[in-house]
């Protein structure tokens, strides 16, 4: 667990450092290019460890840094070109943020689906164990009933042989519950 926390701390620290480096580089360079587009890397980095709403907040912070950079170091080229570059940067940050949030949602849905599949597999395994137990009980019941039934049948056969067939059969039928309901001859 500590290792995971260490990785998260390193990732968070490197993300903050990247944001600062990008801001400073964009501010001190005289080139008026869409350098703030590199903030996309920061948004992608935070999408690894932040929630969806926090990713959006980071993206808004990157857009704010882009606008702050506009005021800190005014453009050296034509205004229309500088505005276009800033719009490109903000659009790239916005699109990557949307894609990162969709990726987070898809990841959450995938994890939820995996959990549901695991739950269904556990339920099926439980049902399989119950079915196996039922089959085992039926087999044991059959194995117990068969020798007992055979012994009973052999006993009845012995009674018929020793007491004279028909008389033993009539006594046996009168001693059974079904025989009590019938009248004796």
SS3 77: coil
- Helix residue ranges, H only, the chain: 2-28, 39-46, 52-72, 79-163, 165-175, 177-181
3-class state of residue 73 by DSSP: coil
Handedness of CA 153, 159, 160, 166 (dihedral sign): negative
Q: Which residue has the tokens 């019941």?
A: 141
Q: Which two tokens stand for residue 20?
A: 């600062």
**The pLDDT of residue 170:** 59
Q: Say what the pLDDT of residue 180 is.
A: 46
For the chain, how far is it from start to end, CA to CA, in angstroms? 87
CB atoms within 10 A of CB 9: 11
Q: Which segments of the chain have a pLDDT < 70? A: 1-4, 30-32, 34, 74-77, 165-185
Tens digits of residue pLDDT in 107-149: 999 999 999 999 999 999 999 999 999 999 999 998 888 988 8
By C-alpha distance, which of 99, 29, 100, 19 is closest to 65?
A: 19
Q: Tell me, what's the pLDDT at 185?
A: 42
Provide the token pair at 69: 């950079």
């Amino acid at each position: 667990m500590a290792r995971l926390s260490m990785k998260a701390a390193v990732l968070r620290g490197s993300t903050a450092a990247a944001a600062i480096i990008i801001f400073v580089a964009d501010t001190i360079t005289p080139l008026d290019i869409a350098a703030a587009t590199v903030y996309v890397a920061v948004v992608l980095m935070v999408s690894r460890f932040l929630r969806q709403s926090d990713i959006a907040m980071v993206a808004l912070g990157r857009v704010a840094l882009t606008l702050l950079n506009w005021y800190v170091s005014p453009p050296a080229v034509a205004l229309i070109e500088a505005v276009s570059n800033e719009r490109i940067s903000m659009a790239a940050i916005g699109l990557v943020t949307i894609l990162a949030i969709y990726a987070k949602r898809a990841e959450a849905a995938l994890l939820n689906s995996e959990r549901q599949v695991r739950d269904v597999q556990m339920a099926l395994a439980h049902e399989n164990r119950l079915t196996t137990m039922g089959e085992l009980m039926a087999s044991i019941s059959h194995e117990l009933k068969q020798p007992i039934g055979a012994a009973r049948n052999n006993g009845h056969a012995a009674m018929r042989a020793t007491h004279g067939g028909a008389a033993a059969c009539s006594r046996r039928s009168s001693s059974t519950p079904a025989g009590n309901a019938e009248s004796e001859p």
